[in-house]
Structure 1
Amino acid sequence: MTAPVLAGLDLGGTKIGVCLGDETGKVIAAARLATQAEASPEPQLRYCIQQFREMEAKTSLAAPAALGIAAPGPLDPQKGCLLEVPNMPAWQGFPLRDFLADHLACPVNMANDANASVLAEAYWGAAQDVDNAVFLTMSTGMGAGLLLDRRVYEGQLCMAGEIGHIRLSEDGPVGFGKAGSVEGYLSGPGMVQVALAEALACRQRGEKTEIPKDASRWRTEDFLALARKGDPAALRALDRIGAKLGQLAALLADLLNPDVLILGTIGSAHLDLFEPRLRRVLDQEALPQTAAHLQIRPSGLSDRGNQTALALARQQLWYE
């Protein structure tokens, strides 16, 4: 019996990834295009469908048996559409799931990228050997995917894990429209806000820093590179961010008692910087038993964007 072909669509604010793969998480063919966030979704999706057809022809693969869509932000599970995605206004309310199901003639499974990520980690990554895990996206936004008793927990409205708006302090960097929020501290743009604030304070004390005054093109990777070089403002920013990450980890540890906390994207790439700072606060704030039990891991996925979407296709195919 021929193994079924799975299709994946990873929808983001800046890019759309499409791929074909199999149940082992292997990506057989893939393509990418830039997202036109303010343009109509329909022509962009038609181009994605064309890419699927071309990949099928080039690889001599069968038509996909199921499609998984990993999408940003809160979703409407009944209508199969995006709800509130500020950086993708034209996509809000578009019947994404039904449009692709009709044109590809296969069942479609759609979830937010945090839930899709923790599912993929459970299949092929850092949560294969545990029953309970939390995945933190730590990217342009900040959300959590919850794996509880080997099932992805989505909540009544499929909005469980939308932790970005939770306030960690009365003031601080702004994310999700809230000062001092999880997204304000722990998303990529939020980390840059923290670094710029520390640079300003550093200059006011008469100290030197390589963090630029004009940081309009500055990225999280630039800030972390300076922290590795020992820049004083960058190190203070890293300490603040690590402490807030530890505060969040302590809340998750005591509330959910997971086996593993998986740091995605930025956290995964720089685990050596974040883990000791996180662990210091986690051990202070969480119950001793839950803190000691909790393992901190990087993502175990080799191609997270594509594999998160393939995980949803696999789940749909086997009704897991």
Structure 2
Amino acid sequence: MAAKVWIGVDIGGTKTAIVVSERLPEVRDRIQFATLPAKGPERALDLIGKGIVALLKKRGLTTSAICGIGVSCGGPLDRIRGIIQAPPNLATWIDVPIKAILGRQFGVRCNLENDANAGAVAEHRYGAGRGAGNMIFLTMGTGLGAGIIVDGRLYRGTDDLAGEIGHVRLTRGGPIGYHKRGSVEGWASGGGIAQVAMRAVEDARKRRHRTLLTAHRGTLSARDVCAAAKHGDAVATRIVRTTGERLGQVLAILVDVLNPQRIVIGGIAMRTGDMILGPARGVMMREALPTSAASCEVVPAALGERIGDVAALCVAVGL
């Protein structure tokens, strides 16, 4: 009997990954490329199609071996119609009908899902969320979104928009995220960290305060800031600590509103560990209702860097 495989496509503002699996959560093979949103969706869609064909060919398979394709992407999007609707990190992807495009190209069912929802299901089935009836997953990548598991099932909300915690305003001023100044996404995401870092470096240079960050030329990224913090850079350490404290405020809101058993965080918090999670847990414990806070574990995503791959495959199989 010929092998049957699932295809997962994880589209982010920085990179797009394509993976193939015969049995979840195992990833048999993968390829990735820079998404380059400024170039529009056409280039990336072409590379996705070619990438799927290349993965199949490498395993000696044809398109008839595909059971289904799953696309995981940041919102906003229309899951039912399969349309990507210009997410903040993919601003040029305006009403892209990716479900129809890939469905026609490969003649199979294609599902589209918000990456936070997909990540929540992946961690609940195979990662740090196993055994938790009520769980929240936070993406914390270029942006920040939440996937919510209630009584063991994904909670979508009335309009499929549950979990958009990144859009909530924390402060009147501050970094911009989700097109809103002072939002959760502005304060607790890679994009927000980069904004805060550029302002902090500008101030430090005016004071002629030399650090690893002020010596950096060009645009700073969250990766640059976290790397500098790990090397003891004072400016970077302050930025990372502030990010953790703002994240803690977000966790307190989620704990008070949803009373979860576990909050699983991927992306930056997963990579930096207690540098961000330590301050975040501290603020959460101070600000949330004591009983609810004591009942909630805050842990990094157990699937690690595989989470985007496994999440996209879960979309292919069905959430």
* TM-score, structure 2 normalization: 0.89
Equivalent position SS for 1:110? strand
Unaligned runs of 5+ in 2: none
Change (3 A) 1:215 1:266: farther
Equivalent pair of 1:199/1:234 in contact (CA under 8 Å): no
Query: How far apart are residue 141 of structure 1 and its match?
Result: 0.9
Aligned match of 1:210 in 212, 221, 225?
Answer: 212
Displacement of 1:199 after TM fit? 4.6
Q: Distance in 2 between matches of 1:80 and 1:152?
A: 18
Shift of 1:268: 0.1
Q: Is the 8 A contact 2:241 2:275 kept in 1?
A: no
Residue 26 of structure 2 corresponds to which residue in structure 1? 26
Which deviates more, 233-242 or 64-73? 233-242
Residue in 2 that maps onto 1:16: 16
Q: Are residues 126 and 215 of structure 1, via their aligned partners in 2, closer, same or farther at CA, if it must alter by over 3 Å? A: farther
One-letter code aligned to 2:23:
E
Secondary structure of 2:143's counterpart equals coil
> Aligned partners of 2:243, 2:52: CA distance in 1, in Å?
41
**2:97 alignment partner in structure 1:** 95
Instruction: Specify the code of the residue in structure 1 equivalent to 2:309.
Output: N
How far off its partner does 1:189 sit?
A: 2.2
Amino acid in the other structure paired with 2:293: A
Partner of 1:266: 268
| Deviates further, 290-299 or 219-228 | 219-228
Alignment of 1:214-253 (within 5 A): 216-253=218-255
Listed as ranges, the matches of 1:60-209 within 5 Å are 60-61=60-61, 63-199=65-201, 209=211
Determine if contact 1:23/1:314 at 8 Å carries over to the other structure.
no
Q: CA deviation at 1:214?
A: 6.3
Alignment partners' CA distance in 2, 1:206 and 1:36:
35
Contact kept, 8 Å, 1:250 with 1:282, in 2: the verdict is yes
5 Å matches for 1:28-47? 28-39=28-39, 41=41, 44-47=44-47
Find the residue that maps to 1:13 and give its secondary structure. Answer: coil
The alpha carbon displacement at 1:42 in A equals 5.1
Matched, 1:277 2:279: yes
Quote the Cα distance in structure 1 between the aligned partners of 2:295 and 2:97: 42
Amino acid paired to 2:11: L
2:319 aligned with 1:311, yes or no? Answer: no
Task: Show the counterpart of 2:48.
Answer: 48
In 2: Cα distance, 1:41 partner to 1:198 partner:
33
Q: State the aligned residue count.
A: 316
> Cα 1:97–1:309, aligned 2, differ >3 Å: closer, same or farther?
same
Distance 1:281 1:243 in 2: 6
Give how far 1:305 is off.
Answer: 2.2
Shift of 1:142: 1.1
Deviations 1:174-226 (A, max 9, x none): 22232221111111121133334445555677765432176533222222233
Moved more, 230-239 or 133-142: 230-239
- Matched residue SS, 2:65: coil
Structure 1 gaps of 5+ residues are none
